[in-house]
Amino acid sequence: MPERRVAGRRVLALVALMLAAGVALPVQASQRFAARGEIELAFSPRDDAEKVLIELIRGARRSLEVHAYVFTSRNIADAMVAAHRRGVKVAVLADAQMNRRAKPGAKGDAVGRLLAAGVPVAFETAYNAAHNKVLIVDADGPGCAVLTGSYNFTWSARNRNAENILIVRGQCELARAYRDNWRWHRKAATVVTALPWKP
């Protein structure tokens, strides 16, 4: 294994221990990538951002990693379940505080729908808010894409709020950087098997 990869894993392990112990982390330098690929955007409620998001999920062929702050949209959950059923490796990280109270079958029970279908879900508990809103599609390509923006996976984001989404397609180096960050968060998250969830 290359030395750089081993060193990177050691750093991740150290950072996970620091987080678990409540130690503040130093600010890390940003990452830059050469511009390439295609960019798509949508503004809610003017555009149908949920439709764009669901079409992205439907296009996934191998993997879909998800960061969700608030996740109540059954339409988006159903698209993820359909991807899971067709063999896409789907996994979701969600903010514990915002998603733990849903009751199975209740309105807004998107996370429960995922769990019932066998989609792996984990809650982030190490932060005041796990505020990411990200979809990472097929990071290893072909067809890699990253969706990010302000858009929560909710009815209000689609119909009431001023929101945005940005999709970068064909920039697999960027997709892998997002996936690496997702994996880093996943190591410190708590697996959820049922709702409502108690810490």
**Dihedral of the alpha carbons of 91, 8, 190, 128, in degrees to the nearest 10:** -100
Q: Residue 87: helix, strand or coil by DSSP?
A: coil
pLDDT at 6 (0 to 100): 47
Q: Is 187 a catalytic residue?
A: no
Residue 155: inside a domain: yes
Residue 13: inside a domain: no
Question: Which residue's entry shows tokens 């390439």?
Answer: 36
Each residue of 75-91: b (16+ CB within 10 Å) or e? Answer: ebbbbbbebbeeebebb
Number of domains in the chain: 1
Residue 18: inside a domain: no
Query: Which among 67, 84, 133, 185 is annotated as catalytic?
Result: 133
Query: Which among 67, 109, 138, 185 is annotated as catalytic?
Result: 138
pTM of the model: 0.81
pLDDT at 100 (0 to 100): 66
Residue 102: inside a domain: yes
In sequence order, what are the residues at sequence separation of 6 or more whose Cβ sits closer than 8 angstroms to the Cβ of residue 129?
Answer: 69, 95, 97, 98
pLDDT at 16 (0 to 100): 59
Residue 98: inside a domain: yes
Supply the range of the domain harboring residue 157.
Answer: 38-192
CATH number for the domain spanning 156: value is: 3.30.870.10
pLDDT at 104 (0 to 100): 56
CA distance 158 to 196: 25
Query: Which among 47, 78, 89, 131 is annotated as catalytic?
Result: 131
pLDDT at 33 (0 to 100): 82
Residue 48: inside a domain: yes
CA distance 12 to 138: 23
Residue 61: inside a domain: yes
Q: Is 95 a catalytic residue?
A: no
pLDDT at 119 (0 to 100): 97
Residue type for position 112: G
CB atoms within 10 A of CB 176: 16
Residue 16: inside a domain: no
**How confident is the prediction along the chain (199 residues), in pLDDT tens digits per residue?**
444 444 445 555 555 555 565 655 555 678 888 887 899 999 999 999 999 999 999 999 999 999 998 888 999 999 999 999 999 999 999 988 776 666 555 556 798 899 999 999 999 888 888 899 999 999 999 999 999 999 999 888 998 999 999 999 999 999 999 999 999 999 999 999 887 777 7
- Are 125 and 150 a contacting pair, CB within 8 Å? no
